[in-house]
Amino acid sequence: MATDTSGGLSKEERDAVKQRAKELREQEKAGKNRAAGDKAVLEAIAEMEPADKSLAEGLYKVVTAVAPDLVPKTYYGMPGFANAEGKIVVFIQAAAKFKTRYATIGFEDRANLDDGDLWPIGFAVRNWTPAVEAKLTELVRKAVS
């Protein structure tokens, strides 16, 4: 009887875990080097499918303008931005990477988005529009406040 060593993960999820392990090794070597992180994020964006790429470029533009203290770094192969402790605050999960209907822009628990007992931390995004840019600018600004 063959055993399933995938732990129930899809091929895409296993690939993401492998990518994350590689990122962690590279980040350990680079330390908190902004230039290395910026290079890795821009390379990740360049490799994206066109629809996801435009969303990632928009997020990159917003974060670098509104929250310049966040350090670019990849997160499971996806563009992300980390705080001074190296912990991801905001990231984009490309639709093509996991074969989903839409990309997701997510905020980790260190983002200051608290609003009572319930608040959203993930946002489905299909197109980068002025309204999307305005909303994400507001969210990123709040996340780092």
Helix (H) or strand (E) holding 71, with range, is: strand 71-75
What pLDDT does 46 receive? 96
The separation between the first and the last C-alpha atoms of the chain, rounded to the nearest angstrom, is 55
Could you report the per-residue pLDDT of 86-113, keeping only the tens digit for each? 899 999 999 998 899 999 999 999 999 9
Could you report the per-residue pLDDT of 44-91, keeping only the tens digit for each? 999 999 999 999 999 999 999 999 999 999 988 899 999 989 899 999
Asked: is 11-144 a CATH 3.90.1150.200 domain? The reply is yes
Give dist(CA 110, CA 86) in Å, integer. 11
Residue 37 has pLDDT above 90, yes or no: no
The per-residue b/e assignment along 10-31, b for 16 or more CB within 10 angstroms, e otherwise, is eeeeeebeebeeebeeebeeee
Name the band, by pLDDT with cuts 50, 70 and 90, for residue 3.
very low
> Contact, 52 vs 94, CB < 8 A?
yes
Phi-psi region at 113: left, alpha or beta (left = phi > 0; alpha = psi -120 to 50): alpha
What pLDDT does 27 receive? 59
What pLDDT does 31 receive? 54
Locate the domains of the chain by residue range.
11-144
